[in-house]
């Protein structure tokens, strides 16, 4: 058993402990306390390690990224129109033809160095799968499908299921098939995906851009034009004349397994509907700024009572995959929110949304000891505020708990 002593413990499931202890054994958390636990009855050897003025917290959760796009780092400049930005991404991806492994491996290393334990990784090509599977990360593989006019959505889903079933099983990873977005997935494909999902989490880009709202309201605008340009328009499709959450609800996808990613354009009514269904909104504010999607109403997210998780999105639309950087941007957009709420979003809320709350997200006995120690300057009094101020990997270390 290893007993870590630290200036701060942030269990997340309860308030920070100033000067406390975390005991770990064989990769599991065995104790959390303000005072040194009584270990006199234990026969095994106990090693006590004093870490000094650090904050121990659970490894963070990046609930939305696309690791396979890591080679696009700094390749598509920021835009003020998301459809324009997405067209550039599609053109670049077509030109490249495949997602090279080296940048994926580098992005996984960087994520880990920035304190991330768990990820929700969206993939079209499964290019990151083997690298993730052999890494220290755990999480959800969201095999994402697009198709606004596919003639046989069921076959598309069956082919994706077959591809997933060929992957070597790994208990650290859950795999499911998910839809891309309302403007790129036909109602029939949404339905086929819903039927295949069972009780696994389903992630979808939702309410991301103004153009998506326009498209669903009246079937017009830049997404409609783009679908026409790439030969993906569906003559049968009729605009539902409602907002994105209601549209998804009509398709039977709004439930407690849903991760509604971005939500940049969501109004109070849509957020209330998500909250009532116990769904999750995944905020990715740095990516929203980069792609021209807009500014997410972060305070409105929390006011609605919906579960809020945090994602970085991909290196195509963000400088790094550091969840602490994303937290700092969330803080800028929600200056009045208690920092503890943001920290919950970066830990337990993401773990719940991805279906891993029994193993990750808090420092509680029995959970995986995937713990980080963040160096805290001596003058810091409000440790939670410090942790959402934008930390870099040089102050983060993983605890050795094997």
Contacts of 124 (CB under 8 A, 6+ apart): 68, 143, 144, 145, 146
Instruction: Tell me the closest approach of the beta carbon of residue 211 to Zn ion, in angstroms.
Output: 16
Q: Beta strand 17-25 with 28-33: parallel, antiparallel or unpaired? A: antiparallel
Instruction: Tell me the closest approach of the beta carbon of residue 205 to Zn ion, in angstroms.
Output: 6
Instruction: Tell me the closest approach of the beta carbon of residue 264 to Zn ion, in angstroms.
Output: 12
Encoded tokens for 243: 């907002």
Q: Which is nearer to Zn ion, 212 or 313 (CB)?
A: 313
Q: Which is nearer to Zn ion, 175 or 205 (CB)?
A: 205
Q: Which is nearer to Zn ion, 313 or 384 (CB)?
A: 313
CB–CB of 377/394 below 8 Å?
no
Instruction: Tell me the closest approach of the beta carbon of residue 189 to Zn ion, in angstroms.
Output: 18
Encoded tokens for 13: 């499931």
DSSP letter, residue 114: T
Instruction: Tell me the closest approach of the beta carbon of residue 44 to Zn ion, in angstroms.
Output: 46
Q: Which is nearer to Zn ion, 140 or 373 (CB)?
A: 140
386 closest CA partner among 341, 320, 324: 324
Instruction: Tell me the closest approach of the beta carbon of residue 122 to Zn ion, in angstroms.
Output: 6
Q: Which is nearer to Zn ion, 11 or 120 (CB)?
A: 120
Nearest 10 degrees: Cα torsion 97, 98, 102, 103: 80
CA 108 vs. chain centroid, Å, equals 14
Q: Which is nearer to Zn ion, 308 or 387 (CB)?
A: 308
Q: Which is nearer to Zn ion, 128 or 387 (CB)?
A: 128
Q: Which is nearer to Zn ion, 214 or 313 (CB)?
A: 313
Instruction: Tell me the closest approach of the beta carbon of residue 70 to Zn ion, in angstroms.
Output: 13
DSSP letter, residue 169: P
CB–CB of 194/161 below 8 Å?
no
- Work out the end-to-end distance of the chain between its first and last CA atoms, rounded to an integer number of angstroms: 9
Instruction: Tell me the closest approach of the beta carbon of residue 282 to Zn ion, in angstroms.
Output: 9
Q: Which is nearer to Zn ion, 82 or 399 (CB)?
A: 82
CB–CB of 364/13 below 8 Å?
yes
Q: 221: helix, coil or strand? A: coil
The residues of the shown chain that bind Zn ion, judged by CB under 5 A, are 313
235-241 long-range contacts, CB within 8 A, separation 24+: 237/148, 237/186, 237/187, 239/215, 240/216, 241/216, 241/217
Q: Which is nearer to Zn ion, 191 or 313 (CB)?
A: 313
In the block, tokens 């990613």 appear at: 261
Instruction: Tell me the closest approach of the beta carbon of residue 280 to Zn ion, in angstroms.
Output: 14
CB–CB of 127/104 below 8 Å?
yes
CA angle 262, 268, 270 (to 5 degrees): 60
Contacts of 295 (CB under 8 A, 6+ apart): 264, 285, 288, 289, 333
Number of residues that make up the chain: 402
Residue number with the shortest CB distance to Zn ion? 313
Instruction: Tell me the closest approach of the beta carbon of residue 120 to Zn ion, in angstroms.
Output: 10
Q: Which is nearer to Zn ion, 121 or 313 (CB)?
A: 313
Instruction: Tell me the closest approach of the beta carbon of residue 270 to Zn ion, in angstroms.
Output: 19
173 closest CA partner among 146, 193, 201: 201
Task: Give CA separation, 13 vs 117, 246, 361, in Å.
Answer: 17, 33, 9
């Amino acid at each position: 058993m290893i007993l870590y002593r630290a200036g701060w413990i942030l269990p997340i499931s309860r308030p920070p402990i100033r000067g406390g202890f975390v005991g770990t054994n064989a990769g599991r958390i065995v104790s959390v306390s303000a005072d040194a636990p009584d270990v006199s009855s234990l026969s095994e050897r106990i090693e006590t390690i004093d870490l000094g003025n650090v904050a121990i917290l659970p490894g963070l959760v990046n609930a939305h990224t696309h690791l396979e796009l890591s080679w696009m780092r700094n390749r598509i400049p920021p835009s003020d129109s998301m459809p324009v930005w997405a067209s550039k991404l599609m053109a670049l991806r077509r030109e490249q033809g495949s997602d090279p492994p080296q940048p994926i491996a580098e992005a996984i290393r960087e994520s880990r160095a920035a304190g991330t334990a768990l990820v929700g990784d969206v993939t079209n090509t499964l290019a990151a799968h083997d690298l993730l599977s052999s890494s220290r990360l755990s999480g959800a593989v969201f095999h994402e499908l697009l198709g606004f006019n596919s003639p046989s959505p069921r076959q598309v889903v069956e082919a994706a299921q077959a591809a997933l079933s060929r992957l070597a099983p790994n208990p650290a990873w859950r795999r499911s098939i998910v839809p891309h977005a309302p403007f790129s997935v036909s109602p029939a494909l949404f339905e086929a995906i819903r039927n295949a999902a069972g009780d696994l989490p389903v992630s979808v880009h939702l309410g991301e851009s103004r153009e998506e709202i326009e498209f669903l309201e009246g079937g017009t605008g830049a997404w409609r034009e783009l679908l026409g340009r790439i030969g993906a328009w569906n003559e049968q499709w009729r605009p539902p004349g409602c907002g994105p959450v209601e549209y998804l609800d009509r398709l039977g996808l709004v439930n407690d397994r849903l991760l509604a990613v971005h939500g940049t354009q969501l109004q109070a009514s849509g957020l209330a509907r998500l909250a009532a269904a116990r769904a999750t909104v995944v905020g990715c504010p740095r990516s929203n700024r980069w792609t021209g999607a807009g500014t997410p109403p972060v305070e409105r997210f929390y006011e609605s009572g919906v579960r809020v998780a945090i994602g970085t999105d991909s290196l195509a639309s963000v400088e790094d995959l550091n969840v602490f950087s994303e937290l700092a941007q969330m803080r800028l957009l929600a200056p009045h929110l208690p920092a503890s709420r943001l920290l919950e979003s970066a830990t337990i809320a993401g773990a719940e949304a991805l279906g891993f709350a029994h193993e990750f997200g808090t420092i509680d006995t029995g959970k995986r000891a995937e713990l980080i120690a963040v160096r805290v300057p001596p003058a810091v009094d409000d440790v939670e505020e410090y942790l959402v101020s934008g930390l870099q990997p040089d102050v983060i270390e993983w605890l050795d708990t094997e």
